[in-house]
Chain A
Amino acid sequence: AQSVTQLGSHVSVSEGALVLLRCNYSSSVPPYLFWYVQYPNQGLQLLLKYTTGATLVKGINGFEAEFKKSETSFHLTKPSAHMSDAAEYFCAVSDRSNYQLIWGAGTKLIIKP
């Protein structure tokens, strides 16, 4: 069965510092991978996704993620954190035969001034 692990329920970084949010998955087939962002008391919004092709995926708000098959990882990064990045981030995976998503538990990103 597929599963998604997000390391760290809370990650704190200083404004201007590198953001790194970790996501590892288990899947018997190459999956589709997604990162979503949720601001307080709102729905989720897609940041980026990997389906096929280039393994480095660029998303909105300056975020990017790299699919590493050998490490079964899809970590999310941003070179320089901004106060507006404070939110909860969810990694999700689907196998190619099923459009349902399996969700990680989420990582709350805290930005220190």
Chain B
Amino acid sequence: DGGITQSPKYLFRKEGQNVTLSCEQNLNHDAMYWYRQDPGQGLRLIYYSQIVNDFQKGDIAEGYSVSREKKESFPLTVTSAQKNPTAFYLCASSMGLAAETQYFGPGTRLLVL
């Protein structure tokens, strides 16, 4: 069954800690995305990647980092530099063309202890 998986579902971060959110897809999609969702603000793009070993900053990349070593995987690290990390994080993938649908994972909710 093809799709996108994100883990964990909930993640707790302590002050000064880096945490990594996992995103895996088996749709054979070239493009992958990370979004941050806050109430009333829609989705804001953090990073995106069109191909393996290449990624680009989105609108709110500060305090985040990513890697794309495999086509299937696009992990997001929330660093200690991100001072307000509490949010719902969504990973998506697509064929990478403008008309193509983005498919979303179930999301990870990050909370600060």
**Contact status A43-B105, CB under 8 Å:** yes
Q: Give the CA-CA distance A45 to B90 in the complex, in Å.
A: 12
Answer whether residue A74 sits at the interface, using C-beta atoms and an 8 A cutoff.
no
**Contact status A105-B104, CB under 8 Å:** no
What are 27 A-B pairs with beta-carbon distances under 8 A?
A32-B99, A36-B104, A41-B107, A41-B109, A42-B107, A43-B4, A43-B105, A43-B106, A43-B107, A44-B92, A44-B102, A46-B102, A46-B103, A51-B99, A90-B43, A94-B98, A97-B98, A99-B31, A99-B98, A100-B45, A100-B48, A101-B102, A103-B42, A104-B42, A105-B40, A106-B40, A106-B42
Q: Give the CA-CA distance A20 to B54 in the complex, in Å.
A: 41
In the complex, the number of residue pairs spanning A and B with C-beta atoms less than 8 Å apart equals: 59
| Interface residue ranges of B62-113 to A (CB < 8 Å) | 88, 90, 92, 94, 96-107, 109
**Contact status A99-B42, CB under 8 Å:** no
Measured CB to CB, the residues of B under 8 A from A are 4, 6, 31, 40-45, 48, 58, 88, 90, 92, 94, 96-107, 109
Measured CB to CB, the residues of A under 8 A from B are 9, 32, 34, 36, 41-46, 49, 51, 90, 94-101, 103-106
Which of chain B's residues have a CB closer than 8 A to the CB of A94? Answer: 98-99
What does DSSP make chain A's interface, helix, strand, loop or mixed?
loop
**Contact status A90-B42, CB under 8 Å:** yes
Which of chain B's residues have a CB closer than 8 A to the CB of A41? Answer: 88, 107, 109
Which of chain B's residues have a CB closer than 8 A to the CB of A103? Answer: 42-44
Q: Give the CA-CA distance A44 to B92 in the complex, in Å.
A: 9
Which of chain A's residues have a CB closer than 8 A to the CB of B92? Answer: 43-44
Q: Give the CA-CA distance A101 to B98 in the complex, in Å.
A: 8
B40, B98, B101: the one within 8 Å of A96 (CB): B98
**Contact status B101-A49, CB under 8 Å:** yes
Which of chain A's residues have a CB closer than 8 A to the CB of B43? Answer: 44, 90, 101, 103
Smallest distance from the beta carbon of B89 to chain A beta carbons, Å? 11
Which of chain B's residues have a CB closer than 8 A to the CB of A46? Answer: 101-103
Which of chain A's residues have a CB closer than 8 A to the CB of B31? Answer: 99
